[in-house]
Structure 1
Amino acid sequence: MKRSWLAAFALSMLTPLAAAQADEPMKGTFTAHQACSALLSIRKQTNPGDVKLTPEQSYRLLSANKPNPTYYRVEVDGAQPAERWVPVDCGEVKSADGTTVPPAPTSPSQPAPGKQGNNPPSGGGSGASYVFAISWQPAFCEGLPSKTECKTQTPERYDATHFTLHGLWPQPRGNAYCGVPQQDVEADKAHRWEDLPEPQLEPATRTALEQAMPGTASFLERHEWVEHGSCFFEKSADAYFRREVALIGQINASPVQKLFADNIGKEVETSDIRQAFDQAFGDGAGDRVRVACKRDGDRRIIVELTIGLRGEVTDNASLATLIAGASPTDQGCKSGIVDPVGLQ
């Protein structure tokens, strides 16, 4: 009996050790490409708070669940607990030395992106859904001060006090690189955006876009068109960007923009942001908004808002109507500072 007890005790001590060894430490970032559930437990598939990653948002990478991983452990700011597991095919890993880790092999039933005609454009009818991502430019520039649009930013410039365009992303996230030549997909993924074809825009659209999207100085519009705009229901870059500019214009003329402009340098609660969306776009609009924050030294700053949309994105589309058609999402971080221009 004593020997059996000792054997059982030894086994109980080895099991956690084996589990710990299976958790492979990693350093770098994980950039989400889908709004994947962020799990507390892989085995139980539990997700307290119904936390989801924000597409195109980067998260601190902590570990993999095994040498040939199926899940990565990341830090999700605002989640309780913050350390969560996400599937490897939810996004892209970049190691601490800047090397991009190849994605998981594509399932035979899921054709690899970038092949001609693999991914049909997202429909323009009432069933079409999108993630609309808008940035707070001073916070973005805290992490990338060498970008042209960041080196030239001043407190007087439009993007110091107004939201800027990140992108309009047809859902589901598999709608990417629709009919895009493989060489352009590869250039985009390598961040060689200057090598991508320039979207054909009317002069008025180009002028409006340059104000709404300062990242055009770093060819952000080329990336957005190749990856996301190519899957827009209307195969026109001018229509795609013109309508994005109109949508963000509605936000920048609303109490949401005023809330941020009036609180530069101060902390704002996510509940107040959601309430401002309710005031601007109708009851429940705030439930479709997720707030993304990041650490900057000892501060937590608001970097981006992602807004769920559903319906026809036409020239005269009502943002209130598009938001009302979408499903609610988690709030993201609970609060953050509205960053002023310049490195803090």
Structure 2
Amino acid sequence: MPRPIIPVAALLLVFTAFGCSASESANGSFTATKSCEAYSSFAKQSNPGAQKIVPGTEYEVREINKVDYDWLRVEVPGAQPSLRWVRKECGTPELSDKPTKAQRQREIAAAAAAGSACNIANKQDSYLLAITWQPGFCEHVKYNGKKPECDAMNGGKLEAKNLNLHGLWPNKKECGTNYGSCQGEQFSLKQETIDKVAPWMPNFFYERTFGAYEWNKHGKCQSLSPDDYFVKAVSAVRVVNDSEVGKIVLGSVGKSFRVNDFFERVKASYGAQVADSITLICTQRKYLQEIRVSLPLEFSTDGELKQMVGGAVPARARAVGCGDEVYVEGAGRD
């Protein structure tokens, strides 16, 4: 019996449909500002039960359709199915790098169901490099007098010459944001390491409290010694600092840059893979606080940003808590 011939155009349509269906997990809330259709599939415009979101109601965000998203998938209580796609323009999204309580419970339950422990060392499948813009943190985030580097910076005794290390976090997909607090080597650093790290993690100029916290929560979950771990972490920050990312931030101190322009410049310099690996995090929907970069399990800090990012999994969102423009605060209180 002869096999049916499938037209090439039909095959292309099938592949295109599957290629466009990918979405990104997301955390946060979406507050409706107008009544809009809540679709089970926005591509097919299907809406079982003719559901609509209600203005003034806050919904839990579960997914976005892409990094530069225009659709969000939210929980609509009472709808069947309850997960529905709504247009971004129908409300105000507040995406976060931290999961909601309900999402965290689901992640823990999923990890337990899969039999995967989230505090066993050397089970990571990727890394996240968290970079702080210190003036943005020190001036606009409450630190309750527990950050001597912020006291020094706000008092004009510490300059902001470069991006700073927040942390290098091993990640495990099955654990979501709950991979950490593993058993491992105790925190101890050579003076040589402290001297190398301090310009990139200024808490080290005054104490080692924050470094110990990062090691106990994240560092113990990978195989490097404390010295090697922190040296590699600041080397990764240096790569970002010396890249187009660092040039944009350091060249914008005391003024703003547009989020779209930021990502277009990064994309033009290194390609979409690198641009999609980055998340900007703001406070008060205006001030730059952090830059986070997704990294693969095996990454090198010997080359440029494109080589370091390699084949990293794309970030969940390109901006969290930011408006269309981001202000880069200068050191010292105004």
TM, length-normalised to structure 2: 0.61
Q: Report if aligned partners of 1:137, 1:303 keep a CA contact under 8 Å in 2.
A: yes
1:281 Cα offset (Å): 4.2
* Residues 60-85 of structure 1 deviation map (CA, whole Å, 9 limit, x = unaligned): xxxxx99xxxxxxxxxxx99522579
* Residues 270-289 of structure 1 deviation map (CA, whole Å, 9 limit, x = unaligned): 22322343355445311211
Q: Report if aligned partners of 2:126, 2:170 keep a CA contact under 8 Å in 1.
A: yes
Matched length: 247
Q: Report if aligned partners of 2:266, 2:274 keep a CA contact under 8 Å in 1.
A: yes
**Percent of pairs identical after alignment?**
24
* Residues 180-220 of structure 1 deviation map (CA, whole Å, 9 limit, x = unaligned): 6xxxxxxxxxxxxxxxx972223322111111011334511
| 1:328 partner amino acid | P
Aligned to 2:287: 301
> 247, 265, 269: which is aligned to 2:236?
247
Aligned to 2:7: none
**In the alignment, structure 1 residue 327 sits paired with structure 2 residue 282:** no
| 1:176 partner amino acid | G
CA RMSD of aligned residues (A): 3.8
> 1: distance between equivalents of 2:180 and 2:90?
28
* Residues 147-193 of structure 1 deviation map (CA, whole Å, 9 limit, x = unaligned): 210111266845x131100011111333201116xxxxxxxxxxxxx
> 2: distance between equivalents of 1:37 and 1:199?
32
Aligned to 1:178: 182
Aligned to 1:343: 333
| SS of structure 1 residue aligned to 2:28 | coil
> 1: distance between equivalents of 2:90 and 2:130?
20
Q: Report if aligned partners of 2:119, 2:221 keep a CA contact under 8 Å in 1.
A: no
Q: Report if aligned partners of 2:129, 2:295 keep a CA contact under 8 Å in 1.
A: yes
1:229 Cα offset (Å): 0.5
Q: Report if aligned partners of 1:165, 1:212 keep a CA contact under 8 Å in 2.
A: yes
Aligned to 2:112: 110
| 2:193 partner amino acid | T
| 1:110 partner amino acid | A
> 132, 135, 142: which is aligned to 2:132?
135
The 3 A distance-change label for structure 1 pair 79 and 251 is farther
The 3 A distance-change label for structure 1 pair 276 and 246 is farther
1:77-96 alignment runs, 5 A limit: 81-83=92-94, 87-88=100-101, 90=103
1:253-264 alignment runs, 5 A limit: 253-264=242-253
| SS of structure 1 residue aligned to 2:92 | coil
The 3 A distance-change label for structure 1 pair 325 and 207 is same
> 2: distance between equivalents of 1:342 and 1:79?
39
> 25, 28, 36: which is aligned to 1:38?
28
Structure 1 segments unaligned to the other structure (5+ residues): 1-34, 53-64, 67-77, 92-102, 181-196
Q: Report if aligned partners of 1:49, 1:79 keep a CA contact under 8 Å in 2.
A: no
Aligned to 1:277: 266
> 185, 190, 193: which is aligned to 1:202?
190
* Residues 319-340 of structure 1 deviation map (CA, whole Å, 9 limit, x = unaligned): 4223231122322133210001
| 1:320 partner amino acid | K
